[in-house]
Structure 1
Amino acid sequence: MFAALEVATGKIIATHSKRRRRVEFLDFMNSLTAAFPNRQLHVNLDNLNTHKKNEDWLKAHRNVKFHFAPTSASWLNQVEVWFSILQGQSLSGTSFTSLKQLREHIDAYVNAYNDKAQPFVWT
């Protein structure tokens, strides 16, 4: 699963992928740039290897800037905070009989979450 959190609204954009290679990551990034045309995008990332060595893609998408969180500081990346919310509020204690069922469950949660989404307030 790839996900992005729109900081201004608190809404989640998510997609499922069988793998998490660079090609799937860049496909997700292409969908984000299409969802926010003509906008400057600042993308906070962890240090997953697929997030690195994407200079050619970034050259073709000058409106996108990647920012990497320090190792062991995932709490600085708000989508990682959301992944924790997803785990605690939706996935913990559940079981699924198929990957399709899991995806449908996550999609339903994302839709319900987005209906009430608000930006995170740091205290």
Structure 2
Amino acid sequence: MVESPPDPEFDEKVNDICEIYLSAIERAERGERTISIDEMTGIQALERKAPDQPMRPGQLQRREFEYIRHGTQTLIASFDVAQGQIATARVGDTRTEADYLNHLQQLLATDPKASKWHLVMDCLNTHQSESLVRWVAQTEGLDIDLGVKGESGMLQSMPSRAEFLRNPNHKIVFHFTPKHCSWLNQIEMWFGILVRKLLKRANFISKAQLKTRLLEFIDYFNRTMAKPFKWTYQGKALKQ
């Protein structure tokens, strides 16, 4: 197996994200928002062909192993690090560049008075797209030449676009995790809760029902279970 080259900015990115997490509540008091974002793709709407057999004395619950596939849905979700809640969620058939941009636009619309947005996400290509750079530049009121995608300027490549999006002087600041470091993204912990509490044993007769149940669970979580994750990792590089 060929391993990907190590991220040359690994320590810098890890320390940056840990600092953002550890100061999220303090930043929230100043009107800043710290949001962890990612997509959960391929969520299957599976319907069991027969109902479960309930537990009996000396016998565990038994589940039907055959199922009917009704398609999949994609969840794009934003987790508020300081509040411990899902700030916004989008459920649909795709996770395109346009879907992601629309999700971020809806997120910022929930709090127009926020003084700054810190957005933590992985380095997927749709998270470093041309449309995001143009949107941020417009939102920041920057009247500058962004260049041409694939040819010049800030739009030239993913590294150049990422550098622009990470600018700490912007109101919207992107914080990218290093490659293969999903453990740094707090929304991944929430996805684990979603799987255990809803998806692992659920039965869905359609994509529409899956979408409804996902959104209902998010509402239930925010009302009854939400609290900030206790982040203890300080971001110090491990040395022998």
TM-score tier, shorter chain, comes to over 0.9
Which residue number in structure 1 is paired with residue 85 of structure 2?
11
Offset from partner CA, 1:20-42 (integer Å, 9 cap, x none): 11101000011011001132111
Which residue number in structure 1 is paired with residue 214 of structure 2?
106
Which residue number in structure 2 is paired with residue 86 of structure 1?
194
Which residue number in structure 1 is paired with residue 29 of structure 2?
none
Which residue number in structure 2 is paired with residue 35 of structure 1?
110
Residue 120 of structure 1 pairs with residue 223 of structure 2: no
When normalised by structure 2's length, the TM-score is 0.49
Tell me, in whole angstroms, the C-alpha distance in 2 between the residues paired with 1:105 and 1:22. 25
- Structure having the larger proportion of residues in helix: 1
Tell me, in whole angstroms, the C-alpha distance in 2 between the residues paired with 1:16 and 1:90. 15
Residue 24 of structure 1 pairs with residue 99 of structure 2: yes
When normalised by structure 1's length, the TM-score is 0.92
Residue 55 of structure 1 is aligned with which of 128, 133, 145?
133
Shift of 1:72: 1.4
How well do the aligned residues superpose, as a CA RMSD in angstroms? 1.3
Structure possessing the higher relative contact order (Cα contacts under 8 Å, 6 or more residues apart):
1
- Structure having the larger proportion of residues in strand: 2
Tell me, in whole angstroms, the C-alpha distance in 1 between the residues paired with 2:139 and 2:198. 35
Tell me, in whole angstroms, the C-alpha distance in 2 between the residues paired with 1:103 and 1:37. 27
Which residue identity is paired with 1:43? L
Q: Larger Rg: 1 or 2? A: 2
Shift of 1:7: 1.0
Shift of 1:110: 0.4
Tell me, in whole angstroms, the C-alpha distance in 2 between the residues paired with 1:16 and 1:26. 14
Tell me, in whole angstroms, the C-alpha distance in 2 between the residues paired with 1:94 and 1:36. 34
Structure 1 segments of 4+ aligned residues over 3 angstroms from their partners: none
Is the 8 Å Cα contact of residues 44 and 67 (structure 1) preserved in structure 2? Answer: yes
Identity among equivalent positions (%) equals: 35
Shift of 1:66: 1.1
Is the 8 Å Cα contact of residues 58 and 65 (structure 1) preserved in structure 2? Answer: no
Instruction: Could you tell me which runs of 5 or more consecutive residues in structure 2 were left unpaired when the two chains were aligned.
Output: 1-74, 141-170, 233-240
